[in-house]
Amino acid sequence: MRIVMASSEAVPFAKTGGLADVATALSKSLARAGHEVWLILPHYPQSIQKQSGLDADIEPTGETLDIPIGSKRVAGRILKSSLVDSDVNVLLIDQPDYFDRPELYQENGEDFSDNCERFVFFSRAVLAAAQRLDIRPDIVHANDWQTGLIPALLKLEYGQIAGFENTASIFTIHNMAFQGQFWHWDMALTGIDWKHFNTREMEYYGDINLLKTGIVFCDIATTVSPTYSQEIQTEEFGCGLHGVLQEKGDRLVGILNGVDTDVWNPNTDRALAENYAPPRSGEFGALKRAKGACKSDLQEQQGLPVRADVPLFGMISRLTDQKGLDLTVDCVDRVIGLDMQMTFLGTGDARYEEFLSDAARRHPEKIATTIGFDDALARRIEAGADIFLMPSRYEPCGLNQMYSQMYGTVPIVRRVGGLADSVIDASGENREAGTATGFCFDNYESDALLSQMQRAVRSFSDNDEWMKLVQAGMQQDWSWKRSASEYLAVYRRATEIHGS
């Protein structure tokens, strides 16, 4: 198949969240499966300049674009690059007025006022580039609101253009909370007839909504986990679009994200004090030694007493309510009496930064807090911690619970979204079956989280049972090869739907 992957960000060129990882890793996996993949994203010069050691050249193709934006036309260039150890064709859309900025979507916490115009341009540029380079895609896979206009353009404008007659569209929702909602006069920027500004298509409470647009016009919509695909059809999780999603019926599919095992792998990760692989059944000696080395290294670096006998909790997160920080801070002082340690890494709401920093000052023998983000430290926490906290209010997919299991660290999660799909509770039945990989709770209450933390501490004291949990988690397949095969099935079905 010929696949165009359209994303507003992709590693290593630009990243604000998981979308960048998914766009790149899925593209690489599809290419490895023998498909022709074109990954297209905006060219953000200032973001690229921040990437130390970027192992990719960016070159001009000599091709230019002339894109209609409302009543004017905006010029752009098509640049090309590559991904290390991959056959993915990478194109970057260069338009300095729109994309040569300090950040991708906002500055000083405020969204750019022309975000609608910027990504209308990008959406049109993706299809114009595919036409200019005669790619003739079987699938255009758009991601999140920034590319939500693409399915509409394919259906309303490109259906009769040579090379696009059989092109089906996939639209992936990575997070319902971000919808690309703008005032109604921005509809004029899209170049699409105003008749489509209606409650069934592009209009949402008097505004234009680009996430809704992508959902309505795509052949198949996907989300990043099976449970999240069900949750967003409810009022609680649908962010106002649950009715629109319900109407998609069986054309809304949940596919759990994968992990780029070229990047995340405890057997090759250079940030770790010692590398290790999943243990063979019952053979835990080598794993215990390596995990022990990683734990003592982390404790020493974080200024915690080096102790192998106490459970070390780790948390790497945006410090926001969505990630369950309100529950977490409520539990910190309540578990401090237990013989345990905690290490936190993240940045976010000032009240949570201050609380966790103060907790570390008050209990330096038990709590360490690092405000900010440090990739090497994140990897050392995943390897050196015994237990990982992820009590999210909602979580479309989540990756840290997968990283944790791969690195032999047992997660505690709330049973929502991708967390529900990737962590199996350590109930007696699941332990007996050898399938348990973590600790799960349902109610969004601090008491529920606290009970799981206490449960994990008790379980940690039984070394043999604990190592069975660790082993079960490390044996899971979180690779993108699994996820990519599910996407390919969706692509084939979308082609059939489009042709019917």
Q: Per-residue pLDDT averaged across 346-371, rounded?
A: 96
Q: Per-residue pLDDT averaged across 161-181, rounded?
A: 96
* pLDDT at residue 175, as a whole number: 94
In sequence order, what DSSP letters do the residues of 360-390 get, joined into one string? HHH-TTTEEEEES--HHHHHHHHHH-SEEEE
| Dihedral (CA of 105, 111, 115, 116) sign | positive
More confident residue, 33 or 47: 33
More confident residue, 475 or 500: 475
What is the percent of the chain where pLDDT is above 70?
Answer: 99
Integer-rounded Cα Rg, in Å, for the chain is 23
- The CA distance from 146 to 172, in Å, is 11
pLDDT digit string, tens, across residues 401-414: 999 999 999 999 99
* pLDDT at residue 346, as a whole number: 93
- The CA distance from 287 to 121, in Å, is 51
Assign 67 to helix, strand or coil.
strand
What number of H helices and E strands is found in the chain?
A: 19, 20
* pLDDT at residue 49, as a whole number: 79
For 150, phi then psi, to 5°, come to -60, -50
In sequence order, what DSSP letters do the residues of 184-242 get, joined into one string? GGGHHHHT--GGG-STTTTEETTEEEHHHHHHHHSSEEEESSHHHHHHTTSTTTSTT-H
List the beta bridge partners of residue 171. 142, 221
Q: Which of 94-103, 105-114, 184-193, 248-257 has the lowest mean pLDDT?
A: 105-114
Q: Per-residue pLDDT averaged across 195-215, rounded?
A: 98
Q: Is 144 left (phi over 0), alpha (psi -120 to 50) or beta?
A: left
- Omega before residue 12 within 30° of 0, cis: yes
- Supply 365's token pair: 């023998």
* pLDDT at residue 244, as a whole number: 98
Contact 76, 93 (CB under 8 A): yes
* pLDDT at residue 395, as a whole number: 95
Q: Per-residue pLDDT averaged across 125-140, rounded?
A: 98
Tokens 């190592």, residue located: 467
Provide the whole-model pTM: 0.91
Q: Is 162 left (phi over 0), alpha (psi -120 to 50) or beta?
A: beta
What is the percent of the chain where pLDDT is above 90?
Answer: 90
How far is the first Cα of the chain from the last one, in angstroms, to the nearest whole number? 19
* pLDDT at residue 84, as a whole number: 87
Contact 379, 270 (CB under 8 A): no
In sequence order, what DSSP letters do the residues of 385-398 get, joined into one string? -SEEEE--S--SS-
- The CA distance from 63 to 60, in Å, is 8
More confident residue, 457 or 263: 457
Contact 336, 312 (CB under 8 A): no
In sequence order, what DSSP letters do the residues of 131-188 get, joined into one string? HHTT---SEEEEESGGGTHHHHHHHHTSTTSTT-TT-EEEEEES-TT---EEEGGGHH
Contact 58, 80 (CB under 8 A): yes
Task: Determine which helix (DSSP H) or strand (DSSP E) holds 258, and give its type and residue range.
Answer: none
* pLDDT at residue 254, as a whole number: 97
List the beta bridge partners of residue 111. 106
144 burial level (CB within 10 Å; 0-12, 13-18, 19+): buried
Contact 477, 402 (CB under 8 A): no
Tokens 């996996």, residue located: 29
Encode 74-109: b = buried (16+ Cβ within 10 Å), e = exposed.
bebbbbbbbbeebebbbbbbbbeebbebeebbeeee
Work out the angle at residue 418's Cα, subtended by the Cα atoms of residues 413 and 420, and round it to the nearest 5 degrees. Answer: 50
276 burial level (CB within 10 Å; 0-12, 13-18, 19+): buried
Q: Which of 203-217, 272-286, 478-492 has the lowest mean pLDDT?
A: 272-286
* pLDDT at residue 16, as a whole number: 86
* pLDDT at residue 55, as a whole number: 62
Q: Per-residue pLDDT averaged across 482-491, rounded?
A: 96
Average pLDDT value for the chain: 95
pLDDT digit string, tens, across residues 51-72: 655 667 899 999 999 999 999 9
